[in-house]
Amino acid sequence: MKILIQSARIISKGSPFHLKTRNVLLNNGRIAEIGDKNYPADRVIDAEGMILSPGWVDIGASVGDPGHEQREDLQSLAKAAAAGGFTEVAVLPNTQPAVQTKNEIAYLTANNDNRLVQIHALAAVTKNCQGEELTEMIDLHHAGALAFTDGLRPVWHTDIFLKALQYLQKFEGLLIDHPEDNWLNLFGQMHEGAQSTMLGLKGMPRIAEEVAISKNLELLTYAGGRLHFSKLSTAKSIDLVRAAKKKGFQVTCDVAAYQPLYNDSVLVDFDTNYKVNPPLREKADQDALLKGLKDGTIDVLVSNHSPQDDESKFLEFDQAEFGLINFQTFASQITALAEEVDLADLIEKITDAPRRLLKLQPVIIDVDNRANLTLFDPNSEWIFSPDINFSKSKNSPWLAQKIKGRAVAVFNNTKQSIDV
């Protein structure tokens, strides 16, 4: 099947067509032509004002499969991800059982070569993500794990963290850490500040994140290796990573795309859909995150897609679980961030940068290359209505809300999903 994408602005930093507006002809899963001609095709997409980029990659999503399929299974995750513009998703290991043997990796990655949305495995650092006993990381690497993390939990045990950094160097593996001191955040519900005091909720102080980063950077200094901090949220956290990069350490980081856009003031109505970890913080932190995006300190943007069923989320605020769904609304956050940060830089943080981090095959928009692509309309205004929510969960503060920015098509492995 031949598909012509007309008048799309191409953002692909390795491409000779980067920042140029061109017609792109796809034929049986490959890029057949790029130019100004109206090539004959079976389907034509008018992409004027839209962005064509390599397929988006998410490295910070949760799935309930196996163990909590009522929240999200692999099929619903793939459908929601495709509607959100993602062609590849690396899922966290916090399932039941955790992703800690070859069987779980094989289950997640089966048939990836034929999927529109490829699912990659991030394997657990410790058994059951408890932080107490290392998994067989070398075997898991050979089985296809792209990186190692305890996902939503920090690798809290200092000796385990140190040994993980050392073992992973045998194959230049990547350790991904969720920096958090659980004791400092014990019973915490939201950011610790004036807002938490006013609402009468136990706070989660900035230092709970910052002390974990400081400690783990010291361990990185001692042991060496590759370390990635996931979902940073405070100004000092960004400063610590920036300083470590200047010293030449192999350290990278990401933030959730919504984190620079919202602060704890949205919790005034106790909306549990805004209850996330790390928590929404204050204006100074938002500004620091935007600065980190602009100067390259922040390498990657993630969805932090965390589906929760009604029994876990729609409760009193202090009883509700953390997390929100964020595949289909992710593009609107890119649109909002582009008011402050160059759009091409933002696109790199969801395409080239995560692929480099996980050592995935590069995707470059050029003739004869495989078509792994996302078409994004930053100007589309639409309502994220419940009937087009493809996740099994509905814990989103943007459900039934009008938002701006939408992924309209994805292409991968000779398959496509087009909504334009």
Return the pLDDT at 420. 87
Which CATH number is 407's domain given? 2.30.40.10
Question: Looking at residue 324, what DSSP letter applies?
Answer: B
Q: Do 127 and 237 share a domain, yes or no? A: yes
Residue where a domain stops, chosen among 358, 382, 405: 358
The total number of residues written for the chain in this structure: 420
Last-in-domain residue among 340, 358, 376 = 358
183 and 99 co-located in one domain? yes
As a whole number, mean pLDDT of residues 70-79 equals 98
| 349 phi, psi to nearest 5 deg | -75, -5
SS3 breakdown of the chain: % helix, strand, coil, rounded to 5?
30, 25, 45
Asked if 285 and 414 sit in the same domain, the reply is no
Q: What mean pLDDT is predicted for residues 177-182? A: 98
Task: Identify the CATH number of the domain in which residue 237 sits.
Answer: 3.20.20.140
Do 238 and 273 fall within a single domain?
yes
Same domain for 338 and 260: yes
Residue 311: its pLDDT value, please? Answer: 95
Per the listing, tokens 């949220």 go with 233
Average pLDDT over residues 74-84: 98
| Mean pLDDT to the nearest integer, 40-69 | 97
- CA–CA gap between residue 383 and residue 374 (Å, rounded): 20
Task: Tell me the pLDDT tens digit for each residue of 257-269.
Answer: 999 999 999 999 9
219 token code pair: 């361990």
* pLDDT tier, 90 (very low <50, low <70, confident <90, very high otherwise): very high
Give the integer Cα–Cα distance in Å for 32 and 25: 5
What does DSSP assign to residue 124? Answer: P
Residue ranges making up the domain that contains 414: 2-51+367-418
Q: Which residue has the tokens 């192999």?
A: 250
Q: pTM score, two decimals?
A: 0.97
Look up residue 405 and give its amino acid: G
CA proximity to 234, closest of 179, 285, 302, 192: 285
Residues 249 and 386 in one domain: no
Same domain for 140 and 38: no
Q: Are residues 126 and 184 in the same domain?
A: yes
The 10s digit of each residue's pLDDT in 332-365 is: 999 999 999 999 999 999 999 999 999 999 999 9
Q: Do 285 and 410 fall within a single domain?
A: no
Domain identity same for 311 and 398: no
What pLDDT was estimated at residue 108?
97
Residues 312, 402: one domain?
A: no
| pLDDT score of 47 more than 90 | yes
In which band, very low, low, confident or very high, does the pLDDT at 65 lie, cut at 50, 70 and 90? very high
The vertex-112 CA angle with 13 and 2, nearest 5°, equals: 60
Overall number of domains in the chain: 2
- The last residue of one of the domains, among 320, 337, 358, is 358
Q: Virtual CA dihedral for 194, 196, 199, 200, nearest 10 degrees?
A: -110
Residues 19 and 89 in one domain: no
Q: Measuring CA to CA, how many Å separate 36 from each of 11, 367, 410?
A: 17, 14, 22
Give, as one character, the DSSP assignment of residue 305. B
- The pLDDT tens digits of the residues spanning 319-339 come to 999 999 999 999 999 999 999
